Structure 1
Amino acid sequence: MAPVEIISAVILGVVQGLTELLPVSSSAHLIVVHRLLGWEAQGLVFDVALHVGTSAAILAYFWRDWIDLAREMLLGIRERQLLGNAQRRLACFLIVGTLPAAAAGVALGVYIETHLRSLLIPVFTLVAFGALMYFAERWSRQDRSLEKLTWADSLWIGLSQALALIPGVSRSGITISTALARDIDRISAARFSFLLSTPVIVGAGMLEGWHLVKAARTPAGSPGPEIQWLLMAVGAATAAITGFLCIRYFLRYLQTHTLTPFVIYRIIFAGVTLLVYLTYSK
């Protein structure tokens, strides 16, 4: 195994750990990086590893939240009071918000993965949804916390998360933008976005893992897909560490800063993506 492969796995892990959780679109970055590194043939295997890494990061950072939510949900079922307190309501809102993205992923995931991988798509979506994020934050009153979340909020945010299947949209970007448009404060919007992304990212990793298992079921005597476990481990570990640190510092950043730098970055990266497209399409 060449050292350059290890370096490439580390690069992909860092890119996934940062861009999956920041509002800049992991899919757009991974498409560009795969193109630059020439690693497109190994995409499915490494996508599984990288999703495992970011799933581990989110679960590790919010493990107390998830334990509290699970405990309160079980108590609510036993007591027949699912909406008895703020934690139980939040758990129900997360379930409602997860359903649209889960349904869209199952119904459209393969089609989008097959037909929407062109570099031109994120060129437009990076700019368009960056502008949406800018105006959502600028016009938001931000006078509502998670305790004031409603069924309508969770449904709208969940529906918007389904759009994140399109490269360049960004799961955290679109859900935070929608929450801001609903006048939820920036920190609460980010926390709800991360909690809402947990089952979706975990589910996406499991779905891609299932596709990998099916691909490995080859007829007797036929070579199956080569899986380089060390590279997968390096990519997953790098994504997990990077993702955990990213969540910590992003939430701290939002306490005193706006999302405008990420909007500017999205526009700049759209230009980079266009340049890569023009260069590699010749």
Structure 2
Amino acid sequence: MLGTIQGLTEFLPISSSAHLRIFPELFGWGDPGAAFTAVIQIGTELAVLIYFRKDIFRIASAWLRSLVQPEWRGHLDARMGWFIIIGSLPIVVLGVLLKDVIERDFRNLWIIGTTLIVLGVVLGIADRVSSSTKVIRQITLRDAVLMGAAQALALIPGVSRSGATISMGRFLGYEREAATRYAFLLAIPAVVGAGLFELQEIPHGENAYGWGPTLVATVVSFLVGYAAIAWLLRYVSTRSYTPFVLYRVALGGATLALLSAGVLTA
């Protein structure tokens, strides 16, 4: 079940880490831990690697050529490679520096419920005020840095990696499909890196489930995640993020209400 939740929520702007914290608590399973969350995200990122394999190969090859062939340095795909690397730095650096705080303090359900609501409202505002005039090939270094900084906010469960990046992209005037596509590409280094970094924690009691269930959940998250990518890119080409905004606010409000009633423990 947790693999299915991860696959569905990783790419939708509703925060997979929040769902993996709220639902196990709601069903009495306990907190699966940050290590479990990070590792099964490798499954969904594998879905990204396969779905965007042509884009990734084109960007990677152009970037590598630009390192040795000056004529490639102004190429759009070469610059995109640098933008993804530079945009990934904030979440990587802060993730390492704040590892203990993230795994201990940020997983508090009061924080998660609040961030679901606040960032949901931010996404709604960004989607409404965006000029929607920019396509992905118009991305600049400034925009890459700003979207990378926004992605770093996803270290707080409830923010949503894709939601934060998409919100910034929409504020900067990018079309929904462009902001969503770039959010997926930008997440690859951070999520794969975090998953590999947390692999060492699985056998040492940091994961409530152990290797077997974790691997099963990772495979399920890959299968469900691949389908979710295809659906979301088609959806945002013609529709707004409003349903996701409403869902975030409802889930955040319900979480805070259940905490207040003593049904959930923070």
TM-score by length of 2: 0.92
98 and 109 in structure 1: CA distance in 2 versus 1, 3 angstrom threshold: same
Matches within 5 A, 1:1-282: 11-40=1-30, 42-43=32-33, 46-81=36-71, 83-212=73-202, 215=204, 228-277=210-259, 278=261, 279-281=263-265
Residue identity in the other structure for 2:67: I
Q: How many residues align?
A: 264
Q: 3-state DSSP class of the match of 1:280?
A: coil
1:109 Cα deviation (Å)? Answer: 2.4
1:84 Cα deviation (Å)? Answer: 2.1
Residue identity in the other structure for 2:264: Y
Return 5+ residue gaps in structure 2 as ranges. none
Measure, in 2, the Cα distance between the counterparts of 1:131 and 1:265.
11
Measure, in 1, the Cα distance between the counterparts of 2:163 and 2:31.
28
Q: 3-state DSSP class of the match of 1:189?
A: helix
1:168 Cα deviation (Å)? Answer: 1.0
Greater C-alpha radius of gyration: 1
* Identity value in percent: 37
1:48 Cα deviation (Å)? Answer: 4.7
Measure, in 1, the Cα distance between the counterparts of 2:208 and 2:156.
29
Measure, in 1, the Cα distance between the counterparts of 2:237 and 2:208.
45
260 and 56 in structure 1: CA distance in 2 versus 1, 3 angstrom threshold: same
1:162 Cα deviation (Å)? Answer: 0.8
Moved more, 32-41 or 113-122: 32-41
Measure, in 1, the Cα distance between the counterparts of 2:139 and 2:123.
20
Q: 3-state DSSP class of the match of 1:147?
A: helix
136 and 195 in structure 1: CA distance in 2 versus 1, 3 angstrom threshold: same
Measure, in 2, the Cα distance between the counterparts of 1:187 and 1:42.
33
1:114 Cα deviation (Å)? Answer: 0.6
Return structure 1 stretches of 4+ with deviation > 4 angstroms: 224-228
Paired residues of 2:39 and 2:194 also in contact (CA < 8 A): no
Measure, in 2, the Cα distance between the counterparts of 1:139 and 1:41.
37
TM-score by length of 1: 0.87
38 and 64 in structure 1: CA distance in 2 versus 1, 3 angstrom threshold: same
Q: 3-state DSSP class of the match of 2:164?
A: helix
Return 5+ residue gaps in structure 1 as ranges. 1-10, 217-223
Q: 3-state DSSP class of the match of 2:131?
A: coil
Measure, in 2, the Cα distance between the counterparts of 1:165 and 1:56.
20
Paired residues of 1:49 and 1:235 also in contact (CA < 8 A): no
